[in-house]
Amino acid sequence: MLRVAALAIAALLVLIAAIRFGWVSGVFTEATGFIKSRYTAVVQSAKDSYTAHFDQAETIERLLEENRLLQEQKETIGALASEIKNIAKLRGYEVPLGYKMVTVRAISYAEIPNMQKVLIDYGDINDSEVRGLIFNNQSAGIAIKATGSYSKAILNGDPDCSYSVSIGEFEAPGIASGKSDQEMIVRYIPAWMTIREGDEVVTNGLDGIFFAGVKVGVVSKVNRLNAYIEAIVKPYYGSFNPGYFYLVESVR
C-alpha cells in the first residue's frame, strides 16, 4: 500500500515538473499543430475538388453547346449540298427571242397522295393564267395560281395537266393531258393526219403556255377513232422527286 502511494506521489511530482518546465506544453503544441495542418489540408482538398468539379461541368456544358452548333452546321451544309445537287440537274439552254423564264423550286406535294401536284416557290400568277414548266428542254407540266405566295405545279401525269402539242414530221396538232404516272394522251388529232408510233411530240406554243419546240415525249400507241385520232405518249419527264424547273414567265 505504501508502495502504491509512493508511486502515485512520484507520478504527480513528474507531472508537476513537466508542467513547470514546459514539457507538456511542447507536446500539446506539437499535437495541435499537426491537427491544424491536417484540417487545412482537408479543407484545401475539398476546395480543389469543388473547383475541379465546377470546371469539369462548365467544360462539359461548353462542349455540348459546341457539338450542338456543329450538328446544326452539318445539317445546314447537308441541305445546301442537296439543293446544289438538285439545281445542278437543271441545265440551261437557249430561250427563243421574246420569251422570259425564271427558275422555280418545288416546295412540297400539294395534294398527298397525289405526287403529280406540287407547290412551287412562285406566286406571280393570276387566277386565269397558266404557265408552262420546263426541265432541261422537256415539258414537265403546267403551273396555276395557288394560295399565298406559292403556285401549284401540275405535272405531266395528272389529268388536270393539259397543253397543245404537235406530233411527228407532219406536225399533227392535238391536246396533250395526263393519263397516268408514266403516260400522257393526245386527243383531237385530225383523223386525216398521219402519225406513227415513235413520232416525237413537242409543244406547238399555240396555247400561250409554252413556246414551240419544247420536247414532250414519244408516241407509243395510236388509236384511230371515228372523228379523230388519239395517241398514247411516253413522256420524257417523269420524275417522282421534283426539284427545280424553268417557268415560262412571259410568252410574246
| pLDDT tens per residue, range 21-53 | 544 455 545 556 656 676 676 666 666 666 666
Inform me whether the pLDDT recorded for 185 exceeds 60. Answer: yes
- Lowest-pLDDT range of 44-53, 91-100, 199-208, 239-248: 44-53
Say if 115 falls within a structural domain: yes
Please work out, in degrees rounded to the nearest 5, the angle formed at the alpha carbon of residue 155 by the alpha carbons of 151 and 158: 115
Say if 77 falls within a structural domain: yes
Does residue 77 sit in the same domain as residue 134?
no
- Lowest-pLDDT range of 31-45, 154-168, 215-229, 232-246: 31-45
Does residue 72 sit in the same domain as residue 110?
no
pLDDT band at 241 (very low <50, low <70, confident <90, very high): confident
Domains: count for the chain: 2
> Where a domain ends, among 85, 117, 147?
85
Domain that holds residue 144: 100-250
- Lowest-pLDDT range of 85-89, 92-96, 244-248: 85-89
Tens of pLDDT, residue by residue over 121-144, are 998 888 889 999 999 889 999 999
Q: Give me the mean pLDDT over the 13-18 stretch.
A: 51
* E-state strands within 112-241: 114-120, 131-135, 138-145, 151-155, 162-167, 172-180, 183-190, 200-203, 215-224, 228-235
Does residue 63 sit in the same domain as residue 139?
no
C-alpha distances (whole Å) from 132 to each of 7, 12, 167, 205 are 124, 120, 18, 10
Residue 24: what pLDDT? 47
Residue 229, C-beta contacts closer than 8 angstroms, at least 6 positions apart: 172, 174, 189, 190, 191, 193, 195, 222, 223
What are the cell numbers at 237? 419527264
Q: Give me the mean pLDDT over the 48-69 stretch.
A: 69
Query: Does 196 or 46 have the greater pLDDT score?
Result: 196
